[in-house]
A and B are shown apart, each in its own frame.
Chain A
Amino acid sequence: MAKTATLHKESIGLKVVIYIVCVILAILSLLPFFIMFTNATRSTAEIQSSAISLYSAHPIQNLMRNWKVFNGKSFDPSTGFVNSLIVSTCTTILAVYFSCLTSYALFAYEWKLRDAFFGLIVGIMMIPGTVTMIGFYQAAYQVHMTNKLAMLIIPAIASPNMVFFMRQYLQASLSLEIVDSGRIDGAGEFMIFNRIVFPLMKPAIATQCIFTFVGSWNNLFLPQILLTKKEKYTLPIEVALLNSDIYQTEYGSIYLGLSLTVIPLLIIYILLSRYIVEGVALGGVKS
């Protein structure tokens, strides 16, 4: 009797600790978003005198002005938005589909070079990104492939990180018996992958979609070097352009641009967050 009582007390104590920690972390997570959205409705001078504040003297008026500045620059935000959407969506689709295919090849079949290939993939992951980028952009200039959105999209077919992740996922959750039963039904190998295996990987795909889309959407360095024509700009380039005015920086419109940039990410994230909540089964033991 007494024992259960202390146990109960203990678990209440633990619960209190858990909630305090979680609430603090939650505030830390949300704060930057609030600051960003609030600053989009503040004037540049207000932001410069105190950047971290949830107060704006004339929110609507400032928002309109910031919007005018953002829209009054010589580039078109809607073009940037469309370009960003094209690049990120295509990148995500290509990366996810071909990573699943490659990881399936690594998982389901036994072939001579399999281990060597897997080793290669892990090896590629380890190459410092900065320098591959230097070589990549010099090559792009040599073959005159700058200002082509495809140059940012097609390389996503080879995404070693994701292949590695997908392989781990398949090992944890896919049983080859399902594949075998597909074969007995007379389905071809490619069909089995498309119809049976790919749908089964949905939870892993959803989380990877979030990671890839976010990474591609926020990518600045490579697009900034490769895309030099206005009609090819992505949204982050336009925000960086606002930021580059060395003599005067329009912070209000920068925050507006950043807010606009983050909203599509929030939409995608909220839509796919079910899989983050439910989790992706990815363990060491198959059931």
Chain B
Amino acid sequence: MKKVIAGLLSVAMIAAMAGCNKATPTTTAAGTTASGESKPAETTAPAETTTAETTVKATYGEGPVHINLWSFTNEVPNMAQKYIQLNPEFGKKYTVDVTIIATTNQAYQPALDAALKNGEVDMYAAEAAFVLKYTKGDGAQFAAAYKDLGIDVDKAVKDAEIAQYTVDIGTRTSDSALVALGYQATGGAMIYRASIAKEVFGSDDPATVEKEVGGGSGKYDTFWKAAAKLKEKGYPIVSGDGDVWHMVENSSSSGWVVDGKLNIAPERQAFFDISKQLVDNGWCNETSDWQPSWFADMKGLPQEGKDNKSAFCFFGPAWLINYSMKDNCGGKEAPADGNYAGNTFGDWRVCKAPAGFFWGGTWVLASKSAAENADKKAGVAELINWITLDASDKGLQYLWANGLFAPNADGTPGTKDCVASGKVMATANGEVAFLGGQNMFPAFIAANANATGKNMTQYDENINALFREQVNQYAHGQKSIDDAIKDFRSRVADKIGEDGSL
């Protein structure tokens, strides 16, 4: 009996693996068809490549000069691949060797650090959560200034109208040199349910709703009034306190560390009471980000086993719509009967959030060793320029914003996203059906202008987690605010740095 089961399983496994080998040549087609419903980065190759191009490789191009590219997802490597497809002569000069290490288990940074020390990296990607370490913190010494690659950054940044906060984050403190830039702009807006707005505020028009919630005011009192109004009809204004946190975190007047000491900005201090208010007044559903109950609120359904109503709004950048909300709204097109419970596609609109903020993003850096290598320098510069600064209709950002990086199989634009270049954004068309045909770009561009990257530190990711846990303890009545702050300070000192000497 056991042998039989084992035998069956073996056969299944071998069949799967055989299928996998066979499936490889068709990957191109598969990836492209899937791109309409998945994110562009997943598409391994665009439609025009032939089947010969499809063997899975760790390298792109076939030139004599090797460029070592490190990343934590395949997003940036796919851009390099795309560039070589569009510019075959680049592929004849250079070979891009790709190394991808997932950020789970925090494996990417230790490996990258060791490789940087050994001079084995030419180009590397960093996420918002840890980019500061490589632009201003302990790892900044490994980064090459864009200027040293031969790029006229001052002019290029101005010409492309790159969002200021991405420049702030990418500027090294020690010599004020620009060492990193992103391609996405991740300024966040308020993404709300039109049908609920109509019911409670009498109109779903973004301008009206923006006024009701105090959009762009930098204060929360109007927002709380709106929350109370929504509660009268049974709607919590947000899903969980995490939704408000991203706005609070990235709109505060100072960062976690000031002059080497742990600092709690007044805006962040206020989050204690924001969170408690949300919980005590029932203004949220007490969900946590990325958990099923959070996604349930995107679908417009009550929480499983409960009779509450779903949340009014979310706060986030365009990628939140593209990669999370669209897939979790419960449908692919607006419900014909206009009943949005279970399918909220088309029921969402964007307007300015009470405070300007940004959330996430990827920055691209070149290493000093690459800048010092005459062979590699030009190639690295060319790639980085195309990804981060080229605002023409040949540049990556134009393709990215207009959904042309990975178009649908039928040639219609794929996922549209906000990009760092204001010049590209000005001409790009951000009308999407998910938002009932609203052009989403104006709201997000306004957010980019408000967002500030000046108050980040390289320890933010860890300190945020410690802070939010203490806020959670306070909001749920587990400890007093003084104890929570005391414990927070002590944890930060123990985990991040020696007492008081951050």
Contacts and interface: CB of A to CB of B under 8 A. Distances in A.
Q: Do chains A and B touch in the complex (CB under 8 A)?
A: yes
A48 B326 CA distance: 13
A67 B26 CA distance: 12
Contacts of B296: 49
A270 B58 contact: no
A45 B100 CA distance: 26
Contacts of B5: 270
Contacts of B73: 241, 244-246
Given A229-B99, A270-B2, A240 B105 contact: yes
B220 interface: no
A263 B13 contact: yes
A207 to B, nearest CB: 16
24 contacts: A48-B295, A48-B327, A49-B295, A49-B299, A68-B34, A71-B23, A72-B42, A74-B98, A137-B114, A141-B117, A221-B105, A225-B101, A228-B99, A229-B58, A240-B104, A244-B72, A245-B41, A250-B38, A260-B13, A263-B13, A266-B6, A267-B6, A270-B6, A274-B2
Contacts of B472: none
B110 interface: yes
B58 A220 contact: no
A274 B104 CA distance: 37
A257 to B, nearest CB: 11
A244 B16 contact: no
A247 B10 contact: no
A48 B110 contact: no
A77 interface: yes
Contacts of A267: 6, 9-10, 13
Interface in B1-51: 2-3, 5-6, 9-10, 12-13, 16-17, 20-21, 23-24, 27, 30-31, 34, 38-39, 41-44
A230 B2 contact: no
A230 B20 contact: no
B30 A68 contact: yes
Nearest to B102: A244
Top 5 A-B pairs ranked by shortest CB distance? Answer: A244-B102, A248-B323, A230-B58, A224-B107, A76-B56
B9 A72 contact: no
Contacts of A51: 292
Given A72-B31, A247-B360, A231 B58 contact: yes
B74 interface: yes
A68 B299 contact: no
Interface of A: 44-45, 48-51, 65, 67-69, 71-79, 81, 137-138, 141, 144, 220-221, 224-225, 228-231, 237, 240-241, 243-250, 260, 263-264, 266-267, 270-271, 273-274
B111 interface: yes
Given A224-B101, A241-B102, A271-B2, A78 B110 contact: no
Contacts of A220: 105
A74 B100 contact: yes
B324 interface: yes
B10 A73 contact: no
B382 interface: no
By size class, the interface of chain B is 35 or more
B72 to A, nearest CB: 6
B292 A50 contact: yes
A49 B302 CA distance: 11
B34 A65 contact: yes
Interface in B90-124: 98-105, 107, 110-111, 114-115, 117-118
Contacts of B453: none
Given A74-B44, A246-B360, A270-B9, 7 more contacts: A45-B328, A50-B304, A77-B20, A78-B20, A137-B114, A245-B73, A246-B127
Interface string B123-150: 0000100000000000000000000000
Contacts of A72: 27, 30-31, 34, 42-44
Contacts of A48: 292, 295, 327-328
Nearest to A47: B292
Contacts of B39: 245, 247-248
Nearest to A144: B118
Contacts of B38: 69, 248, 250
B363 interface: no
Nearest to B12: A263
B330 interface: yes
B9 A225 contact: no
Contacts of B439: none
B118 A75 contact: no
B407 interface: no
B101 A273 contact: no
Nearest to B301: A49
Contact of B323 (A68, A71, A137, A247): A247
A119 to B, nearest CB: 33
B222 interface: no
Contacts of B72: 244
B111 A73 contact: no
Given A45-B330, A72-B42, A73-B42, A244 B24 contact: no
Interface string B206-246: 00000000000000000000000000000000000000000
Nearest to B38: A69
Contacts of A247: 39, 319, 322-324, 360
A49 B3 CA distance: 38
A71 B30 contact: yes
B77 interface: yes
B78 interface: yes
Nearest to A259: B16
A162 to B, nearest CB: 24
Contacts of A240: 102, 104-105
Interface in B443-487: none
B310 to A, nearest CB: 12
A248 B102 contact: no
A224 B42 contact: no
